[in-house]
Structure 1
């Protein structure tokens, strides 16, 4: 753990004169360089100035986030309590809720002119809200953390809008294909690297009614958005043109839709009604052989299959397989999703300065590690210093599932991950991503092909027309970008 040394004095023996030379010598003896000392002094001054600005008037910060699980709520309460000790006049109240509920409530609060002081925003939400002038820059938080201490791909994609950072990721994770390693090894199966190999692999692993080869989430449409943009990326394409118009009528997307349809052969007939948590339980309890998922699945494995909750039975694939139009192999050209809602501060908020100070406090390593430890393989730190620390890496769950952790970091550092409905980094500045994601147009396109018998060409043409119409409706609300 990195400790705050600001309250530590320089040790002086009784009767010893504290000269400048003595001060420097003792400072060096305690492992603190002069530069660090000056930084601490400056930090004290800045903290004192901030406290003066915030005054003594009681302030309540309302914070909404998308981690409703009890462990995360407990960690947040501890961080909020410690913040209150430093700023006694500021009380931080949290409200954790699921993604679907969160976004609906957030948009309603913005429409009413009464948003929370701080909230999570899915990465595609941040560009849309920033373009409408609704967000306060969080540059001060970025610089307080240390710009270079944040993984650049996490720091910038979605948050940097050309002039400021408008969001900062609370924690990230990469979607992987989790499979029953023991079942695959019994059948002598190697991890697939292409879609064609993947179909053969799933066919061999598919043993209904005992278990199915694959589970995808059918509802809500949010998760269908995820799969169709990822399949397009796996096939070497993207769903947006330069400038932000839809790019759906092409062979990359046609192939992604055919791939989606092919995968249904290895899934339960009722999959369209399956929710995300249903699939976590299904892979954990042995009802499916493989599912795209996240690190929080570890908790489900330990709940449903405690006797085999280990990497010998459950393993993330090294890479996701790639489609026939991808120009390179899976090892260098695979594509997957980066999950990482961003903390944002609202211009309409009454306590913007206090909100910024709380976020600075939240990301101090001694506080931030509590948050990351609440879901150890899923809420991964944005800070390299914390990710590399022994305190973080020596957590028992991270030691046990070390490969899962390392796989995600490699995918991030090799830029094989992108946020939801963004296939290229420039996509992260498209100002209507939120509206398209919430419109249901992309799920309708998928269901037209896999459930209603339309061709990919028919489905994409219809979807493009609907998205273009939606963009024309949104454009008058854009104030910047």
Structure 2
């Protein structure tokens, strides 16, 4: 579905939603008071966070969350329903507009800002009470679930994306796996050596979101996409430098020719055709599943500063829930220390709670990822962040195809963002 068409559909849905919300205004403001005798059914929408082989274990983790919650609220039934990742935004918005959505669902920061701005999320700042151990969450995680000074969810997971290098190729090109690149210049020197031996330097999945392609380079260059005061910055000097770096990699053959529009470079990395794959904890799990051990994890790069992308996954409460306070209590249970440990150890994410990160004390790879999470930015927290993603992809593709210069592509992206802000 095109974004313009979706935008028209969404406006229609919002009109329906607004009428439904207005009929229940007092409840929307505070939710229902709850105690241990409260009776209700809460529906939670989740996603496939692991592969099919681990699905039963994922179900067990969520069932345990429900069982723990039921000890506090024995008359409450918790139903978990899994929806696919694809088109999840449209599915959620459509369900909420029809007043048929869940009581709790999963979001990431850039979608959270969009949904909060559209009025479909309940701020849970006051619903949480005083016993949710705020000090146990990393401040960056709290920032990632906050929009306009209101907390809209509690974080369960954090992610960090970085480079994983093929150790056999490193050995062949005379590189030290214990002294991996930290700067753009150092990486490009290694990339040239890999290219000279017939390898690509790194994966670049151009059809992926800008979170995984462009934005890390913008931040590493010292730039911003949108400033905190709402100014578009992506086409300033630092932003253009990021476009130029991607263009350089493509023109010089450091990244594969299909980098313009591919979604998958994991296979060629495993096949020994690419020096480094850009990945996360999920990539480590996939490498282990394949029995691929010839890799080492390198740090995110820097130009002006070390930075990368890593989402923060949270559970939120929609304004359509008839049991908002109870749903907020369930969110607390689903993101407590025990839940965080069980979920993240299975799915290979990094806990948002400080007290839960010890799950990786005996796992050198995930301990390294936990070390790098301090450099991870959860994305652009702004209502238009997700809407402009297709335009950014299109402009990167135009640049790599040679029809636009890096500056022209950056200016076009800035214009698209400004136009969305003006709607």
Select the residue among 267, 286, 294 that pairs with 2:255. Answer: 267
Match of 1:156 in 2: 143
- Taking structure 1 as the reference length, what is the TM-score of the superposition? 0.72
Alpha-carbon separation, structure 1, partners of 2:118 and 2:154? 18
Contact 2:103–2:323 (Cα < 8 Å) also in 1: yes
Q: Shift of residue 162 of structure 1?
A: 4.2
SS of the counterpart of 1:94? Answer: strand
Q: How does 1:69-468 map to 2 (within 5 A)?
A: 69=51, 70=55, 71-139=57-125, 140-141=127-128, 143-157=130-144, 159-189=145-175, 190-206=179-195, 211-220=199-208, 222=209, 224-264=210-250, 265-275=253-263, 278-304=264-290, 306=291, 308-309=292-293, 313-317=294-298, 319-323=299-303, 326=304, 333-375=305-347, 378-388=348-358, 392-393=359-360, 399=362, 401-402=363-364, 404-413=365-374, 416-420=375-379, 422=380, 428=381, 430-437=382-389, 440-468=390-418
SS of the counterpart of 2:202? Answer: coil
SS of the counterpart of 1:213? Answer: strand
Alpha-carbon separation, structure 2, partners of 1:213 and 1:458? 26
Contact 1:67–1:96 (Cα < 8 Å) also in 2: no
Q: Shift of residue 359 of structure 1?
A: 1.7
Contact 1:281–1:300 (Cα < 8 Å) also in 2: no
Alpha-carbon separation, structure 1, partners of 2:81 and 2:191? 40
Q: How does 1:39-78 map to 2 (within 5 A)?
A: 50-52=35-37, 54=38, 56=39, 58-65=40-47, 67=49, 69=51, 70=55, 71-78=57-64
Between 230-239 and 187-196, the greater mean CA deviation after superposition:
187-196
Q: Shift of residue 143 of structure 1?
A: 4.0
Q: Shift of residue 456 of structure 1?
A: 2.0
Which runs of 5 or more structure 1 residues have no equivalent in the other structure? 1-47, 327-332, 423-427, 474-481
**CA offset digits 1:144-194 (Å, max 9, x no partner):** 33111111111223x223442112222112111111134213432242232
Contact 1:206–1:289 (Cα < 8 Å) also in 2: no
SS of the counterpart of 2:235? Answer: coil
Contact 2:223–2:234 (Cα < 8 Å) also in 1: no
Task: Please give the root-mean-square deviation of Cα atoms over the aligned residues, in Å.
Answer: 2.6
Would the alpha carbon gap of residues 386 and 161 (structure 1) be closer, same or farther in structure 2, given more than 3 Å must change? Answer: same
Contact 1:160–1:166 (Cα < 8 Å) also in 2: yes
Count of residue pairs brought into register by the alignment: 381
Alpha-carbon separation, structure 1, partners of 2:336 and 2:397? 45
Alpha-carbon separation, structure 1, partners of 2:268 and 2:67? 38
- Taking structure 2 as the reference length, what is the TM-score of the superposition? 0.81
Match of 2:16 in 1: none
Would the alpha carbon gap of residues 186 and 145 (structure 1) be closer, same or farther in structure 2, given more than 3 Å must change? Answer: farther
Would the alpha carbon gap of residues 199 and 347 (structure 1) be closer, same or farther in structure 2, given more than 3 Å must change? Answer: same
Query: Deviating runs (4+, > 6 A) in structure 1?
Result: none
SS of the counterpart of 1:445? Answer: helix
Contact 1:169–1:342 (Cα < 8 Å) also in 2: yes
Which runs of 5 or more structure 2 residues have no equivalent in the other structure? 1-32
Contact 1:232–1:252 (Cα < 8 Å) also in 2: yes
Alpha-carbon separation, structure 1, partners of 2:149 and 2:329? 21
Q: Does 1:469 align with 2:419?
A: yes
SS of the counterpart of 1:63? Answer: strand
**CA offset digits 1:172-225 (Å, max 9, x no partner):** 12111111134213432242232232122122224787x5322111224x2x34
Alpha-carbon separation, structure 1, partners of 2:331 and 2:243? 41
Contact 2:206–2:393 (Cα < 8 Å) also in 1: no
Would the alpha carbon gap of residues 66 and 342 (structure 1) be closer, same or farther in structure 2, given more than 3 Å must change? Answer: farther
Match of 1:20 in 2: none
